[in-house]
Chains A and B, each alone.
Chain A
Amino acid sequence: MGKYIKFFIVGIFFGIVLVKSEAVSWYRIFEMFKFQSFHMYGIIGTAVGTGIVILLLSKKQKIKTTEGTTLIVPLKDRGFTRYILGGTIFGLGWALSGACPGPMYILIGTGAFSIIIVIAAALLGTYVYGLLKDKLPH
């Protein structure tokens, strides 16, 4: 159990940040896709900007993980179709439900229990993807 505590703490921090930044709010997602506020773009932009710097620095410093391995980001397979089609399908759902997979879980903690219906439907969507995977263009 001890080895999981650090992941629990990171999760708590993640949940707090996404609630305090209001990124879990359906309204903020609507506002973002309407280009009516810089807020969400600021969050994603500074997250990516900071992320680029941190990853470059850790590569340069040859930082090791706590497991003793070299710190690397897993590479996504090359491709186009799955990313643009899958991405668009996710985007449709993101704007409609106002929640991507992180916020879905976090919203349970804020007492918004009806989000559990969205999570159940997301599990079904994931299952159906697994069923159809070999028939879809990737």
Chain B
Amino acid sequence: MDYILQPWPWYVSGPCIAIVMFLLLYFGRTFGMSSNLRTMCAIGGAGKHVKFFNYDWKSHKWNLVVVLGAIVGGFIAHFLLSNPIDMDLSEATVKDLSALGFNNVGQSLLPLELFSWDAVLSIKGLSILIVGGFLVGFGTRYAGGCTSGHAITGLSSLQLPSLIAVIGFFLGGLIMIHLIFPILF
């Protein structure tokens, strides 16, 4: 039980994610989390105005059930299967984040500087979450997938488009962290 309560090492977590991918393929579906965003837009009626959302979203309901399960899984893991301990981040990361003005680094999953209600209710904090989320939604649909669809499923099936997309993910991430963060924080 103690092993479960501790954070899981990468060599356990990675293969578990591959099992999730396999199970969804075995059920005749596929592993892709960002397509749920399109489904939710379609459920909200976006198909009346925009052709892209006018499709048979009902055949994607199973994926929303995966999302519901994932939320429950997040609850179980966080509240029932975790000892409250600080994250074992690298010292360099803690130092770099402190220099950018982040305190209590690694004491929660998300930094209070961005996700606490105080931060969310500031113009800067709110803008960061909205711009970040918007780019994720726009970019994943443009690229036709996210970490699950391209990085895990696409690379596991040796697809070149997914490799190009993953290179893009890292290009964008590196630009944000190395060039834009020093301006933002």
Contact = CB atoms under 8 A, between A and B. Distances in A.
Nearest to A38: B10
B15 A46 contact: yes
Give the 7 A-B CB pairs with smallest separation, nearest first: A87-B168, A11-B69, A15-B73, A91-B172, A125-B137, A109-B74, A93-B135
Specify the main secondary structure of chain B where it touches its partner: helix
A110 B109 contact: yes
B96 interface: yes
B105 A27 contact: yes
A138 B137 CA distance: 17
Interface of B: 4, 7-30, 33-34, 36-38, 40-41, 44, 46, 50-53, 61-63, 65-79, 81-82, 87, 89-90, 92-93, 96-97, 105-106, 109-111, 114-117, 119-120, 126, 128-148, 150-162, 164-178, 180-181
B160 to A, nearest CB: 8
5 contacts: A46-B13, A76-B159, A85-B168, A102-B147, A102-B148
Interface in A90-133: 90-102, 104-112, 114-115, 117-131, 133
Nearest to A11: B69
A16 B75 CA distance: 8
B62 A4 contact: yes
A27 B106 contact: yes
Given A7-B65, A15-B73, A115-B115, A96 B142 contact: no
Contact of A92 (B20, B63, B92, B175): B175
A47 B96 contact: no
A36 B90 contact: yes
Interface string A24-36: 1111111111101
A86 B29 CA distance: 24
A58 B28 CA distance: 13
A15 B79 CA distance: 12
Given A4-B62, A87-B165, A106-B70, 12 more contacts: A8-B69, A19-B73, A49-B18, A51-B152, A87-B169, A87-B172, A92-B175, A109-B72, A115-B110, A117-B120, A126-B141, A127-B53
A95 B71 contact: no
Contact of B145 (A19, A43, A76): A76
A27 B150 contact: no
Nearest to B119: A114
